């Protein structure tokens, strides 16, 4: 059906087999199909007009962005310190066990 072609470039021989020819043909046809589909799909454009809903969405997104910028600008140490203060109990434990081993991985 197909014959092998030998092409010489810069002193190197390149052999194009029948399988290579079929794969090149399939790639070209697939590329043309995608190009045609994209060409005709461009005509479907969705335009979002201004409305109260889109304005509210823009306001909420800008509020979220401002909050994220504020958090990003705070040093991490202050954030960690504030979180640790919130987690610490207000009253320290008055009665500690005398036999408790410090830094025990089982807490006994």
Mean pLDDT, each 10-residue run in order, the chain (108 residues):
77 86 95 90 73 90 91 76 79 55 59
Residue 60 and residue 83 in one domain: yes
Residue 59 and residue 34 in one domain: no
Kindly state whether residue 93 falls inside one of the protein's structural domains. Answer: no
pLDDT on residue 44: 64
At 107, phi and psi to the nearest 5?
70, 30
pLDDT on residue 99: 56
Kindly state whether residue 77 falls inside one of the protein's structural domains. Answer: yes
Q: Is the whole model's pTM more than 0.85, yes or no?
A: no
Kindly state whether residue 107 falls inside one of the protein's structural domains. Answer: no
Core vs surface per residue 14-44: b (16+ CB within 10 A) or e: eeeeeeeeeeeeeeeeeeeeeeeeeeeeeee
pLDDT on residue 103: 66
Kindly state whether residue 63 falls inside one of the protein's structural domains. Answer: yes
pLDDT on residue 26: 97
pLDDT on residue 30: 97
Kindly state whether residue 32 falls inside one of the protein's structural domains. Answer: yes
Kindly state whether residue 101 falls inside one of the protein's structural domains. Answer: no
pLDDT on residue 9: 83
What's the structural domain count of the chain? 2
Structural domain that includes position 26: 5-41
Kindly state whether residue 64 falls inside one of the protein's structural domains. Answer: yes
Residue 33 and residue 57 in one domain: no
Residue 36 and residue 58 in one domain: no
């Amino acid at each position: 059906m197909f014959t092998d072609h030998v092409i010489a470039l810069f002193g190197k021989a390149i052999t194009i087999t029948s399988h290579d020819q079929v794969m090149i043909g399939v790639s070209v046809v697939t590329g043309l199909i995608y190009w045609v589909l994209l060409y005709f799909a461009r005509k479907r454009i969705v335009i979002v007009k201004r409305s109260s809903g889109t304005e509210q969405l823009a306001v909420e997104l800008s509020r979220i962005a401002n909050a994220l910028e504020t958090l990003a600008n705070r040093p991490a140490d202050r954030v960690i310190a504030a979180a640790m203060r919130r987690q610490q109990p207000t009253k320290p434990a008055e009665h500690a066990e005398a036999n408790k081993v410090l830094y025990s991985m089982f807490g006994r």
